[in-house]
Amino acid sequence: MDNQITDNIIELLKYYNNPSTGKPYDVKKEVNVVVRNGEANITININPNEIEKFEIDKKNLQERVLSVPNIKAANIIHTAEKKIENIKKPDTTKYNLKAKNIIAIASGKGGVGKSTVSANIAIALKELGKSVSLLDADIFGPSIPRMMGINKKPITNEDKKLIPLDSYGVKCMSIGFLIPEDTPTIWRGPMVMKALEQLFINVDWGETDYMILDLPPGTGDTQLTIAQKVPVKGAIVVSTPQDVALIDARKGINMFKKVNIPVLGLIENMSYFICDKCNQRHEIFSYGGTKNEAKKLGTNFLGEIPLNIQLRESSDQGKPIGVYHKNNEIAKIYLEIAKKIIE
pLDDT tens digits, one per residue of 28-57: 788 888 888 888 888 888 877 788 888 888
Please determine, for residue 285, whether its predicted confidence score (pLDDT) is greater than 80.
no
Same domain, 41 and 121: no
Using the predicted structure, report yes or no on whether residue 91 has a pLDDT greater than 60.
no
Domain CATH code at residue 31: 3.30.70.2210
Q: Is the pLDDT of residue 106 over 60?
A: yes
More confident residue, 199 or 43: 199
Per-residue pLDDT for 83 more than 50? Answer: no
Instruction: Based on the fold, state whether residues 116 and 233 are members of the same structural domain.
Output: yes
208 and 284: one domain? yes
Residues 140, 165 within the same domain: yes
Residue 89 has pLDDT above 70, yes or no: no
115 and 75 assigned to the same domain: no
Mean pLDDT of the chain: 87
Residue 94 belongs to some domain of the structure: no
Q: What pLDDT does residue 85 have?
A: 46
Choose the final residue of a domain: 39, 56, 86.
Answer: 86
Task: Quickly state the pLDDT bin for 168 (edges 50, 70, 90).
Answer: very high
CATH number of residue 200's parent domain: 3.40.50.300
Domain assignment present for residue 77? The answer is yes
- How many domains is the chain built from? 2
- Please check whether residues 21 and 170 belong to one and the same domain: no
Q: Are residue 61 and residue 120 in the same domain, yes or no?
A: no
Residue 226 vs residues 105, 109, 157: alpha-carbon distances, Å: 12, 18, 25
96 within domain boundaries: no
What is the pLDDT, as a whole number, of residue 44? 86
Percent of the chain at pLDDT exceeding 70: 96
pLDDT digits (tens, 9 = 90+) for 114-136: 999 999 999 999 999 999 999 99
Residue 105 in this model has a pLDDT that exceeds 90:
yes
Given 86, 117, 152, which residue is the final one in a domain? 86
What's the one-letter identity of residue 120? N
Domain that holds residue 109: 101-342
Contacts of 45 (CB under 8 A, 6+ apart): 29, 30, 31, 79, 80, 81
